[in-house]
């Protein structure tokens, strides 16, 4: 059995709209979301890219993201203001086994740990588990990234282990913490997330 490939499409929630990335349309707001202050610049600490020297440099990077088929990059839009506030992707897609990862996740410091970030993950998990009937969704992060590890656990992902000396990111070793959620765990997690978002 082979599962369908995820596609770039619009996902509407109460607090957010998660839509396919548009470099030209989104660059100004995304640059501000990641560079508005020293606090915002900390967003890039554990990512392999960023911060960007200027909006034009970020635009060049976003163009490559927009053209990618894996990862599938999406822009997270605050529905109340209509403003892009971050990015999220579906990546490491293995349709043969019904498996994918949520990654390249970053948000404006002003909306981190909010209903916006929770609903974004909820929408993407719903898409993968309910529309595509995937068996497994993964979440990986730098083992030093406590916020990302806590977010994974809060969302219902289970810790599965540590990949030591997994990558080199910005000339530094990265030990990667590995989390996952399976289709049989999703119904209970879905109910809990719905209760929180309500």
Is 4 within a domain? Answer: no
Range(s) of the domain holding residue 149: 11-188
Q: In whole angstroms, what is the distance from residue 195 CA to residue 178 CA?
A: 26
Is 97 within a domain? Answer: yes
Per-residue pLDDT tens for 102-120?
999 999 999 988 899 999 9
pLDDT for 113: 81
* CATH number of the domain bearing residue 26: 3.40.630.30
Is 194 within a domain? Answer: no
Complete edge-to-edge strand list for the sheet that includes strand 16-20: 11-12, 16-20, 72-78, 83-94, 99-107, 136-142, 172-182, 158-169
110 by Cβ neighbours in 10 Å (0-12 / 13-18 / 19+) ranks as middle
Report DSSP state, residue 76: E
78 backbone dihedrals φ, ψ, rounded to 5°: -70, 115
pLDDT for 19: 98
The structural domain count of the chain equals 1
Is 5 within a domain? Answer: no
Low-confidence spans in the chain with pLDDT less than 50: none
Is 193 within a domain? Answer: no
Cβ contacts of 48-52, under 8 Å, gap ≥ 24? 48/169, 48/170
């Amino acid at each position: 059995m082979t599962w369908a490939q995820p596609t770039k499409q619009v996902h509407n929630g109460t607090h957010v709209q998660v839509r396919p990335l548009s470099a030209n349309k989104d660059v100004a707001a995304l640059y501000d979301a990641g560079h508005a202050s020293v606090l915002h610049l900390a967003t890039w600490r554990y990512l392999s890219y960023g911060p960007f020297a200027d909006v034009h440099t970020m635009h060049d990077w976003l163009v490559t993201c927009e053209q990618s088929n894996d990862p599938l990059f999406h822009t997270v839009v605050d529905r109340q203001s209509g403003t892009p506030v971050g990015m999220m992707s579906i990546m490491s897609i293995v349709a043969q086994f019904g498996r994918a990862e949520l990654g390249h996740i970053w948000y404006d410091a002003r909306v981190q740990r909010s209903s916006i970030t929770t609903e974004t993950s909820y929408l993407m998990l719903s898409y993968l588990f309910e529309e595509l009937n995937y068996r497994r969704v993964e979440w990986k992060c730098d083992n030093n990234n406590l916020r990302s590890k806590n977010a994974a656990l809060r969302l219902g992902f289970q810790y599965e282990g540590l990949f030591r000396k997994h990558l080199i990111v910005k000339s530094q070793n990265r030990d990667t913490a590995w989390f996952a959620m399976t289709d049989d765990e999703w119904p209970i997690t879905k109910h809990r997330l719905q209760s929180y978002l309500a």
